[in-house]
């Protein structure tokens, strides 16, 4: 019973549509071509892209073309992460490689710790409650310990380890099922988000 109450609290804290989902301090909104420059600024930052699947710098034109092709492919959802209080673009997050009610969670870059925490909760909510997925998995560079350890706090479990030849590094593969999601206790995450948002709003 407690799990269902917790899940209901998550539902009540956000508004959802096909193109966006809103939490306490974070909005996930479908990326548009006009966001290409902002995405390039993130991807071309060497402090950020060292853990991405491709660290090669890209131009705004190349990013626009990629977004066009991604839209045509109709594969999942690609969101920009927005700081609700400042209405600023702070990152990206996505569900893609959709197949048989399973999708990969990735393209996850966020400059703001508060939004990074809430964005992961919102993408799970969107995937399981809007897209009706049965399973979500992610692949994270083993060296990126901060991120893959964060995933445990949302119910992800380790499943395997892969070698990514392109960047000569190992990836930690983690996943969460719909059943895991609805039975996971998100109390700590929700309290942390509410506390951080209150502190941030008062600063």
In the sheet that 157-164 helps form, which strands lie side by side, from edge to edge? Answer: 15-16, 20-22, 26-30, 77-83, 88-99, 102-110, 135-141, 169-177, 157-164
Instruction: Please check the confidence at residue 2 and state whether its pLDDT lies above 60.
Output: no
Residue with tokens 């209901």: 8
DSSP string, 111-155: S-HHHHHHHHHHHHHHHHHTS--SEEEEEEETT-HHHHHHHHTTT
Q: What is the pLDDT of residue 56?
A: 72
- CATH topology (fold) of 2-202: Aminopeptidase (3.40.630)
The pLDDT tens digits of the residues spanning 126-156 come to 999 999 999 999 999 898 899 999 999 999 9
Q: What is the mean pLDDT of residues 55-59?
A: 78
Nearest to 120 by CA among 87, 144, 152, 162: 152
Phi, psi of 13 (to 5 degrees): -90, 0
Q: How confident is the model at residue 165 (pLDDT cuts 50, 70, 90)?
A: confident
Least confidently predicted of 84-93, 123-132, 157-166, 179-188: 157-166
Contact 4, 14 (CB under 8 A): no
Spell out the domain ranges in the chain.
2-202
Kindly give the pairing relationship between strand 102-110 and strand 157-164.
unpaired
- At 11-40, the pLDDT tens digits run 444 566 678 999 989 999 999 999 999 999
Segments in the chain forming alpha helices (H): 2-12, 36-43, 46-49, 60-73, 113-129, 145-152, 178-183, 187-202
The reported pTM is 0.86
Torsion of CA 30, 130, 155, 88, to 10 degrees: 20
Task: Quote the CA–CA distance of 103 and 84 in Å, as a whole number.
Answer: 26
């Amino acid at each position: 019973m407690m799990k269902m109450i917790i899940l209901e609290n998550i539902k009540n804290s956000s508004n959802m549509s096909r193109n966006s989902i809103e939490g306490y301090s974070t909005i996930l909104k479908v990326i548009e071509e006009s966001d290409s420059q902002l995405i390039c600024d993130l991807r071309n930052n060497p402090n950020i892209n060292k853990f991405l699947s491709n660290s090669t710098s890209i131009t705004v034109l190349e990013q626009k073309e990629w977004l066009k092709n991604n839209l045509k492919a109709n594969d999942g959802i690609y969101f920009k992460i927005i700081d609700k209080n400042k209405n600023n673009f702070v990152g990206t997050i996505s569900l893609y490689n959709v197949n048989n009610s399973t999708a990969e969670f990735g393209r996850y870059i966020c400059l703001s710790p508060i939004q990074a925490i809430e964005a992961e909760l919102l993408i799970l909510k969107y995937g399981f409650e809007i897209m009706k997925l049965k399973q979500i998995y992610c692949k994270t560079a083993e060296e990126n310990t901060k991120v893959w350890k964060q995933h445990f706090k949302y119910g992800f479990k380790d499943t395997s380890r892969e070698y990514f030849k392109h960047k000569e590094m190992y990836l930690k593969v983690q996943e969460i099922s719909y059943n895991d999601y609805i039975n996971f206790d998100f109390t700590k995450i929700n309290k942390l988000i509410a506390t951080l948002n209150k502190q941030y709003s008062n600063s």
